[in-house]
Amino acid sequence: MKLRLIKFLKDFLLFTGILRIFSPFNRLFLFIRNFNELKSWIKKNNTDSLLINDYYTPKRDYQKRFLLYKTVSDHLSLDKTDLVYLEFGVASGQSFFWWMKNNTNRCSKFFGFDTFEGLPEDWGGYKKGAMAHGENEVSTDDDRAEFVKGIFQDTMDKFISTHREILSKPKLIHLDADLFSSTIFVLSQLYPFLQKGDVILFDEFNVANHEFLAYKIFTESFYVKMKLIAAQNNFYQTAFVVE
């Protein structure tokens, strides 16, 4: 009986298209749904066991992300370790160069992926092309660094096929591309290489329709477990360890 009713309702909606009257509110509904998921997630994960956590703070201070990096690095001894660092969203290289300076191991490798022509789509108030920094701005003499220019969706396939050995080492993956599409794409491409102990940083985690949504869809669809170890700016920046 219940199934017949559901079938009838679905057929009715398909035939009439009546739900289109709510179309102007599509984005709002999506935001409300994802924001509520985010808030529930925060409630569950806002614990004293984190290395650092400033929830709730009324003031966002973007510089605090460097404190998160330092705390995670000290905790996991990432300053001396032979590190494979992969950053998605380099822009002018602020976070990229922080990690490079912090790590003194000559065997480490640092890969920075970016269009270097800005965001490939609008992101909130930022328009497509925002945050463009030419790749020359991020050049360095340190031969441990390699920049991969282009949209991730075009460059990652080749990168993966030529760096399989490196990708199977312990990794720090830094997701700072802001967009849902970019973040979910990168996570799903790197899925086969994820290992217990790999570190994953998100730079805009608490943005409900973007990085948070990518995290949620990825962990639920690929059955990947990650342990939250640190957070700053009300979970805007987060650090996880793959379990």
Ligand X SMILES: C[S@@+](CC[C@H](N)C(=O)[O-])C[C@H]1O[C@@H](n2cnc3c(N)ncnc32)[C@H](O)[C@@H]1O
Chain contacts with ligand X (rule: CB under 6 A) = 89-92, 94-95, 114-115, 118-120, 131, 151-153, 176-179, 182
Q: How far is the CB of 23 from ligand X (least distance, A)?
A: 27
Q: Choose between 15 and 93: whose C-beta lies nearer to ligand X.
A: 93
Longest dimension (CA), the chain: 71
What is the rounded distance in angstroms from the CA atom of residue 197 to the CA atom of residue 172?
9
- The alpha carbon dihedral of 46, 48, 53, 57 has a sign of positive
Q: Choose between 54 and 114: whose C-beta lies nearer to ligand X.
A: 114
The number of C-alpha atoms within 13 Å of 183 and in the hemisphere containing its C-beta is: 27
Q: Choose between 109 and 210: whose C-beta lies nearer to ligand X.
A: 210
Q: How far is the CB of 6 from ligand X (least distance, A)?
A: 38
Q: How far is the CB of 182 from ligand X (least distance, A)?
A: 3
Decide: residue 157, CB within 10 A, 0-12 exposed, 13-18 middle, 19+ buried: exposed
Asked if the peptide bond before residue 126 counts as cis, ω within 30 degrees of 0, the response is no
Closest residue to ligand X in the complex (CB): 89
Decide: residue 144, CB within 10 A, 0-12 exposed, 13-18 middle, 19+ buried: middle
Secondary structure E strands in the chain: 84-88, 109-114, 145-149, 171-175, 199-202, 226-232, 237-242
Q: How far is the CB of 179 from ligand X (least distance, A)?
A: 5
Q: How far is the CB of 240 from ligand X (least distance, A)?
A: 17
Residue 237, strand partner residues? 232
Q: Choose between 46 and 163: whose C-beta lies nearer to ligand X.
A: 163
Whether residue 71 contacts residue 169, with contact meaning beta carbons closer than 8 Å, is answered with no
Q: Choose between 40 and 235: whose C-beta lies nearer to ligand X.
A: 235
Q: Choose between 134 and 192: whose C-beta lies nearer to ligand X.
A: 134
Q: How far is the CB of 233 from ligand X (least distance, A)?
A: 14
